[in-house]
Structures are given as C-alpha cells and as structure tokens.
Amino acid sequence: MKIAILPGDGIGPEIVEQAVKVLKNLGESFEMEFAPVGGAGYEAAGHPLPEATLKLAQDADAVLFGAVGDWKYDTLDRPLRPEQAILGLRKNLNLFANLRPAILYPELAGASTLKPEVVSGLDILIIRELTGDIYFGQPRGVRECPDGPFKGQREGFDTMRYAEGEIRRIAHVAFQAAQKRDKRLTSVDKANVLETFQFWKDIVIDVHKEYPDVALDHMYVDNAAMQLVRAPKKFDVMVTGNMFGDILSDAAAMLTGSIGMLPSASLDVNNKGLYEPSHGSAPDIAGKGIANPLATILSAAMMLRYSLGRVEQADRIETAVKTVLTQGLRTPDIFEEGCTKVGTSEMGDAVVKALA
Ligand SMILES: NC(=O)C1=CN([C@@H]2O[C@H](COP(=O)(O)OP(=O)(O)OC[C@H]3O[C@@H](n4cnc5c(N)ncnc54)[C@H](O)[C@@H]3O)[C@@H](O)[C@H]2O)C=CC1
Ligand SMILES: CC(C)CC(=O)C(=O)O
Ligand SMILES: [Mg+2]
C-alpha cells in the first residue's frame, strides 16, 4: 500500500513528520514516498505542483498532505502560487467531497473560546463540495469594466457556477453520511441572492426524494455562520459549496478548541483520497516547534479508515489522541492552566507512546 507524503510549506513539514511517525509505529509497513509541493515545489522544480508530484499522488493509494503557502510567494503570478498545488491536486484527482468532522474532545471543552455548555458533546460533520464553485469557475480575471458608474476602470471578477451533476453527487455523499449518523442534513446556501445557490437548493430537494429517512433543512450561509457559534450542537451534517464550506469549517474549527484539531478527507467517487488538516501553513508559527500536529495525525486516521481499509488502525490512532489529551498534554493553541505544555514533536511522540 503506497502513501504519497506531501509536506508542503510552513508548519506542513513539522506536522506531517508527526503523522508519519505515528503511521510508522502501527506495526504495518506502508510504502511512503515524499515529494515537494507548494512553495517547496516551486523552489525544487519551478512549479507548485511539479509533474512528478502529481504523478506520485495519482499513482498512490492515498495522499497525506501538510499545507502550502507563504506570504513571500504572494506576489508570484497566480499559476505559480503555492495554493495552486492543493487546488490542482483536488481538481486532477477529482476530489469533490471534502469531509471535515468537528468533534469536541471533552478534555478540550475549556479550550474553546465558546462557553463549555455551548460546545460540550459537539459532533458535527461539514461536507464541502471541493472542485467547483467560484474557486474554479471561468471566466475570471481583471479587465476593463464594461458598464455602470465605474465603466472604463479596471475590475476584478470571478464566476460562481455549479453543474447539476456536481450538486447531485455531493448531495448523495451528504445524505448517505447523514444516514450513518443522526439522519439530519442542513444544506447551506445563499438562494435568496444567488442563482447558483437557488439551483443548488432545488437539486438538493430533488435528491432528498431518494433519502426519505433523512430530515433535510435549508439555511442561508450568513445565518449558518451565526448558528454555528450560537447553538452548534443543533447541527448533525451540513453540506455546502466550496467557498461557504471553506469559511464555515474554519469557524467550526474553533468550536473544537483550535483549528489545529480539525482533520479532513477529500474523496473521489471511489473513496480514493487526499488527507490534510483543515488549516493552512501558519507561517506565523512555522519553525518554532509549537504547531498542533493532532489535526494531521487525525487526518492520517481518516486516511486509514476511508481509503486504506484499516479501520482498527484508525481507531487506535483516535484512541491514542484521546489518551494524550486525558494525560493533559497540550500544544500552546489548546493550552489551559493545569495542563502540560508540549511542542509539536513531543505531542507526536506522546501519541506514538499512547498507541495501544
Ligand atoms: N490547504 C492548504 O494548504 C491551505 C493553505 N493556506 C495558506 O496558508 C497560509 C496561511 O494562511 P492563514 O490565513 O494564516 O491560515 P492558517 O490556517 O495557516 O493560520 C490561521 C491561524 O491559525 C493558526 N494555526 C493554524 N494551524 C495551526 C496549528 N496546527 N497549530 C496551531 N495554530 C495553528 C496560525 O498560527 C494562524 O494564527 C496562506 O498562504 C494560505 O493561502 C490556507 C488554508 C489552507
Ligand atoms: C488555500 C485554499 C485553496 C484552501 C483552503 O483554505 C482550504 O481548503 O481550507
Ligand atoms: Mg480554508
């Protein structure tokens, strides 16, 4: 079984190192091959997604990804910017279904910025469509404004679009996920303003006919953002488009105590996938040895569960993460009085030690 390991930039290499350490201590021999991606890809091969890296990802059984991006690349032409690597991987591997489970470990109830009673017991699943929407829609660019009061000036523009088949397939993923949980699905849209999301809503309602056992409701994205911090436990599964899902899942991350706790799986139709923490490359803390590696370690667990058919191994990792939290070990982002502050590598070592 071959895993492509793409550490990327910033804290990417530090946190991926911990997940690799955990994988190597499970008592199974996974073939792992490393390749540069993002800014590291640009430095190594002049492109954020070098051909060899893409081929490795395509040929592997699963991809473990760190994060890409650094402020120093923000002035490059867009096709050369590090973020194009993760967008390119998602598109080339058809990873249209992004699963972001926001679970609050009871030990971290006090680490959340929200009151413990608002978040304790939280277990929601955000399903984000990942290969469509305004992130990929064409045309886009900067042009001369053709009309209106700003005619003749430069304007920036992007295109929001969703094809029927794109909405149907993510809706099926969401309904099926809800069937395995509390059978409640909230579709998040902006149908009151956007044509694309009225269409989204209509298609989700149509797909619902095939899942009568799931209770479906609809919520505008602005209200959803508010409800996520007001009463997050009311949600079971949420499904939404690429941009809204990007934003809402970062908000949901804070319900779990830190964005360093939120793993993700990005899957194709056959459950082949790329696994990465939901956060970015955190250049502000890179190289300091303080990044929380748990989201990445939990992403590796998702990889074992969804793509590699090693459910028991995934369970072992998730139990080990619970154990280290019970032991009171905390990276600075989730630190509270009375706990033991540890760095990235110490946290990785502790998870390895806790593997039953
Ligand atoms: N999938 C990817 O590779 C993604 C890449 N990015 C890129 O990452 C770079 C930084 O973006 P930001 O907006 O700052 O988002 P970010 O998620 O990297 O960081 C936001 C804040 O969260 C903190 N943080 C993130 N992960 C953490 C962890 N594991 N432990 C402790 N603290 C953590 C950071 O220190 C920062 O204060 C940009 O270049 C951006 O484009 C952003 C999101 C996703
Ligand atoms: C860098 C972006 C393309 C992605 C992002 O913010 C995300 O996937 O959460
Ligand atoms: Mg994001």
pTM: 0.96
Q: What domains can you pick out in the chain, each with its CATH number?
A: 1-101+262-356 (3.40.718.10), 123-255 (3.40.718.10)
DSSP tag of 210: T
Q: Is the CB of 173 under 6 A from ligand 2?
A: no
Question: Among residues 54, 3, 298, 245, which one has the least CA distance to residue 131?
Answer: 245
CA distance linking residue 262 with residue 197, whole number of Å: 26
Question: What's the whole-number mean pLDDT along residues 61-68?
Answer: 98
Cα 133 to averaged position of ligand 1 atoms, centre (Å): 22
Ligand 2 atom, smallest distance to 246 CA: 9
Ligand 2 atom, smallest distance to 276 CA: 8
Peptide bond preceding 82: is omega within 30 degrees of 0, i.e. cis?
no
Average of per-residue pLDDT values in the chain: 97
For the annotated catalytic residues, the residue numbers are 135, 190, 222, 246, 250
Q: Name the binding residues.
A: 90, 100, 128, 222, 246, 250, 280-292
Q: Band of the pLDDT at 292, cuts 50, 70, 90? A: very high
Residue nearest to atom 1 of ligand 2 (CA): 83
Question: Which ipTM did the prediction report?
Answer: 0.98
pLDDT for the residue 299 = 98
Which residues make Cβ contacts (< 8 Å) with residue 150, sequence separation at least 6? none
**DSSP E strands: which ranges in 130-267?**
141-144, 154-157, 184-189, 215-220, 237-240, 263-267
Which residues make Cβ contacts (< 8 Å) with residue 238, sequence separation at least 6? 124, 125, 126, 127, 185, 186, 187, 188, 224, 248
Three-state SS letters, 308-334: CCCHHHHHHHHHHHHHHHHCCEECHHH
Residue nearest to atom 2 of ligand 2 (CA): 83
Beta-strand pair 263-267/97-103: antiparallel
Q: Band of the pLDDT at 356, cuts 50, 70, 90? A: confident
The residues with which 2 forms a beta bridge, in sequence order, are 31
Residue nearest to atom 36 of ligand 1 (CA): 282
DSSP tag of 274: E
Q: Is the CB of 87 under 6 A from ligand 2?
A: yes
Helix (H, G, I), strand (E, B) or coil at 7: strand
